[in-house]
Structure 1
Amino acid sequence: MTIWIKNAIMLNQKEEYRPIELLIKQETIQAIGEDLTALSSATDEIIDAHGALVAPGLIDVHVHLREPGFSYKETIKTGTMAAARGGFTTICAMPNVRPEPDTAEKMAALQVKIAQDAVVKVKQYAPLTMGLHSDTLTNQTDLLAAGAFAFTNDGVGVQTAGTMYLAMKEAAANQTVVVAHTEDDSLLFGGVMHEGIRNKELGLPGILSATEASQIARDVLLSEATGAHYHVCHVSTKESVRVIREAKCAGINVTAEVTPHHLLLTENDIPADSSIYKMNPPLRGKEDRQALIDGLVDGTIDLIATDHAPHSKAEKTGGMLGSPFGIVGSETAFSLLYTHLVGPGLATLAQLIDWMTYKPAKVFGLEGGTIEVGQKADLAFFDLTTPKKILAEEFLSLATNTPFIGWEVKGTTTMTLVDGIVVYKEGSIR
């Protein structure tokens, strides 16, 4: 199968748009140029990109697919369909499912299900400890052999320093990554949103910034002691950014991610006691948001990840106190950030693409992140000019729990290819 893609644009090294065509044969990019007519005699399919930007397929290192155990929220099929609609060609799935993939046998069974149902490439995390909530370490060697991508107890912080230390020692020996949801349970005090201004106005218990930052401070020292690569999930506070920056200056092997919602919203955007704004970590203050943007631009924070966390409509009817944490993000991440981060000049398009492609590939040693001849044809195409509203009824995810419904954006996905196969085009999954 040979595909000739015409009438696309690409950013050059000067961050200027140039017209581009691509020739894709089987799984790989065969040629890139402004006019590939001379090479296209044996083309099986011609696709007109209609002036869309072509970028490397986006990579999301933080997604919740919910299957097995919670398929009423999301499935591997629907979650990867949503990712394809968002321009993602590789996603990394968190292990807080039931049963947790904490043994080689469970991991192998989950890998079979992924191979059967996934529309995009899925890398599966394994837990650091048995059942996520225990202090009994999993067998990292066996889990890696069964297909584990990296290790995390995402959804809960590892509460015991000794457990994290031993897990990091194992990870360093296995040359794998410890990925951390940083949250000190002893500092939660029943909080459901940021401890700041809005929680007091709404009469709701707050979550201290120290809940996150204090555990990062602990863990970077453990990373230094063990030599493990330590990656911080969904950074949300200025204190966390400061700790990570100081750790990097000290030569500690720490990397970090930030979500679109923490880059775009603050506690002041929460209009009422609404569960649609309930996420963990919570939306923070204006100074925190600015620190996240500054940290991303100066390299303290390495990349952007969605923390796509689907829930059913019924689960999100209990307000802040009675609903689970989490919002979806796979289908809206790029367009929101292009519109509200690149649009106002807070970042360049080249930076945004870098944070969502090259950087996650580099940090985690994944394929992709660039467009070059001979590489796998994992590609995403975006309409940078046509404004569109984010509509719940157009979601391919089973869930629509996001505060961005109704927002107008540019940069929506027009087509996604995985290994040279069109998996999403013009609002439909093939």
Structure 2
Amino acid sequence: MVGAVSSGATALRGLSVLVIGAGAIGCAVAEGLAAAGAAVRVCERGGVASGTTAHGEGNVLVSDKGPGPELRLAQLSRRLWPETLAGLRESVPEYAARVEWEAKGGIVVATTTDGATTLRAFAARQRAAGVRCVELDATDLAAAEPALTREVGAALHYPDDAQVQPAGAATALLAAAVRAGAVVESDCAITGPLRDGDRLVGVRTARGPRHADLIVNAAGPWSGAVATLLGAPIAIRPRRGEVLVTAPLPPTVFHKVYDADYVGAVGSSSSDLETSAVVESTPAGPLLLGSSRRQTGFDDRLRVDSLATIARKAIRLFPALAEVAVMRAYGGFRPYVADHLPVIGPDPRLPGLWHATGHEGAGIGLSVGTAHLIVAALTGRPTDPDLTAFTVDRPAVLDIEYGVAEENTRDATP
């Protein structure tokens, strides 16, 4: 989205904005606002891209979203990513290569008869919403993924699925923001609000007070705690996920390949362990094996049952992986909302506060679209999807009973 603001690079001149959080969402928002002329400051409690972004896979997906506002946001983001990359190559060429954009497409497979029926019906609804996907027969599937199991009831190819290196993408976006005048402060935890009457006019931080016309809460899984500190609680809680990383391999997997169960796991509201097989390559050679979802509060211990289930399901899709070494495992927290929609836009309870959070595991892919919506709204341009779809003022966001409150506060400080 670098510089891609139709109303020009001075549309927000005179507006000062403080972005809380330097993950993918915060970096994209900072870049978009700075490109539009705003005076941007980013406050990050740790290091750039050190939270959820550093523990993700870098997915830019349309395949896992059913018709509705999140799919429209994913489609917007997918259209914006190539022009964003072009802008990064022009603005910060030394960082652009770190994005590692791979428009490799995705393949979703069903390994049961019932799963195949469900997958085909889901794909038909997606096609009606403008998603490109085509069913592969056994011959085409074997050509696309030679190492994939032949025990497949249905396989859908999504050519628009892509992948980036998440920390590299966030860093490049933030570098472009800095090139446009943004200021970045790490080790800058938020400790409280600064108010002028009923309006939020800044924040107290570990590095002193910081004033701004607008505060954007982009703190990911910690955005619930940030919002509570600022006096406008939102029901965002962490949802834990884990990934296995194999030893480097010769070319073995050529798309993002996952079992159709993944869509159900993403959309589940269960607090119990949910797993599905997700297998994808990286430019360096290792494969990433996922995925899991479980609500554990901010308990960051790796769970053996999650890792074992991930490995078992990955081997079911690619039997040859049984002989492949695993180098390491990692996990992270996703910002979860009970109705599975992000929270984007102004907070009607506290003038001066906006939110850009709750994207769960889709934040990398949705980051540039989220930034586009915020810049468009602030410059008075129409948004599609409409921001009302992601409003703060909905039960899943305001009912703090379902939020981050007391379940486990380890490392919950903003």
TM-score by length of 2: 0.28
TM-score by length of 1: 0.27
